Structure 1
């Protein structure tokens, strides 16, 4: 069975509280935090970007389990904030983790689901026998224009998953996707910040596609929400995944371990993958996990996953890398001025 061989995350230690952003723009902080369910978000350090986050997440995954660099046949990095318009992030990740040149690598972009698209690609390559292992990364340093609604949640972080066959810590039983041309969120070449359709992002965007992929998965495998121990949905805020779960019949208890957005913010391509990582941090053999990502533009990828005994074996050292809970701990809080400096919104003239 093809599945997850290892995983790792990286989240910057810096944070800014949502009320601090609201203070600058004269907004009602209580209304915003209540409406979004987000209280603070991660902020990249001055020398952090999508590449460094992807590298650290991949390194964390490889600390948990030894993988021969020569057996890594593919690396895909999904993001909408790659440092270069022309220069792949995936090549840098491969070099940093010691992978050999005998591999395929590419950067993916599909808004917030580019990382899960990378998982699907790695699954196909592994299952076909073309490669022994592939690494899929979802990482972003998300952007939101000053004063825009996105600024309250756009965060930084990422997760990496090593995909292999046999002796996996979690088998991916099935995956499927639901995709349409729905322009709910976009950024043209050369623009610094994305634009969004406001409420249009919700119903015809997020909920239509998350439900479409999720119901397709449930129908395909013949399961219902009660057959799963955990569920993870893309989390642009805390309200959307909770509403999606309720609409589909999942409980708050099922989504609670993976719902990290209130203390993290929306890490875009990393969001659902970090949620899955947080769930694997507490999962036990036999647990079944339902995952549905979402990317504006628009589409969703759904996964049916079963945790195996290997997750508690000597072959896999979960404690060798920090859990999501551990990387969220001990934050360093910034005021808006330092936040703006970290995000490149203000730059010192030389």
Structure 2
């Protein structure tokens, strides 16, 4: 049995409402909220970045896992906003959690699915007995150019997962992926903000990959939507998430728990990891979970999980996702622009 031994989430406490951003650019806040299904988003403070988010989430994951950090044999941090262009975030995390130097570590980048790619890599190393535990993190302080549609959703946050074979709280029963060269979103080296293909990001990008990975997962497991208690998908906005869930046959009772974007925005590499952590905070032993991530460029990773009795022993050992999200302070556009470095000297 290979699966999740511990998990942890973190979202910065600062928030900015969609209407505050719309006020600056003269947009209709009601139309934006309804169209994107986003009401507000998280904002990293001046001293928060992908590394600090990843470290906090990793420490919470360790608190739940109750393992010696020196038994971690791999650390992967997936993000598209690593604080250094040349200097790994993964080594910062490994040092901060007191992991052994006898490990492999790497930063991963595949738009918003780099965190789930790290989970798959950790699974392979654990299953082959090359390592005892792997730490996979998806975290971002995502970028959106002033006045661009992305500015209403691009936010900050992340979650960490310790993968192992002992005392597993959720077994990862199956994983598969679907990947093509679809350039719907990109940012060249040295550029501050990404470019995107507008409606092209929906079709043939997001929906083709999420739905294809999901259908592959159904076929591989000989299952259907009704066989699962919970479902979670990548959420660049609430609209895409809801459309994908409904197309695949999931009900609001199944998919609502994993949808966090309306209240924290799109955390990019942290989106699916955070949605899953919110599900694990309430899931019961025997519950089955269906998860599909998405990363522009483009690809999706799919997972099926089954919760075990260990969840009852571990989930109260660290702050829960909703508890973290509920701790918030609102800022205006000026403070937001300052924290996000949008004001150039």
CA distance in 2, matches of 1:139, 1:23: 29
The answer to whether structure 1 residue 281 and structure 2 residue 281 are counterparts is yes
What TM-score, normalized by structure 2, do the two folds share? 0.99
Q: 1:65-84 to 2 correspondence within 5 Å?
A: 65-84=65-84
The CA deviation string for residues 293-336 of structure 1, in whole angstroms up to 9 with x for no partner, is: 000000000001000011113xx2x2221111101113100000
Q: Deviations over 1:12-56 (max 9, x none)?
A: 000000000000000001100000010000000110000000000
| Partner deviation per Cα, 1:121-174 (whole Å, 9 max, x = no partner) | 000000000000000000000000000000000000000000001320000000
Deviation at 1:63, TM superposition (A): 1.4
* Alignment partner, residue 326 of structure 2: 329
- 1:339 matched to 2:301: no
Answer whether contact 2:50 2:139 (CA < 8 A) is retained.
yes
Q: Residue in 2 aligned with 1:222?
A: 222
Name 2:129's counterpart in structure 1: 129
Instruction: Please give the alpha-carbon distance, in whole angstroms, between the structure 2 residues aligned to 1:244 and 1:73.
Output: 36
Unaligned runs of 5+ in 2: none
Return the offset for 1:278: 0.3
Q: What are the within-5 Å matches in structure 2 for residues 217-256 of structure 1?
A: 217-256=217-256
Query: Which residue of the partner structure matches residue 5 of structure 2?
Result: 5
Question: Residue 266 of structure 1 aligns with which residue?
Answer: 266
SS of residue paired to 1:344: coil
Which residue is 2:54 aligned to? 54
2:86 & 2:9 partners in 1: Cα distance?
A: 25
TM-score by length of structure 1 reads: 0.98
Could you tell me how far apart the structure 2 residues matched to 1:45 and 1:9 are? 17
- What's 1:201 paired with? 201
User: SS state of the match for residue 32, structure 1?
Assistant: helix
Runs of 4 or more consecutive aligned structure 1 residues displaced over 3 Å after TM superposition: none
- Say if 2:65 and 2:162, in contact at 8 Å, map to a contact too: no
SS in 2 for 1:73: strand
Give the count of matched residue pairs.
345
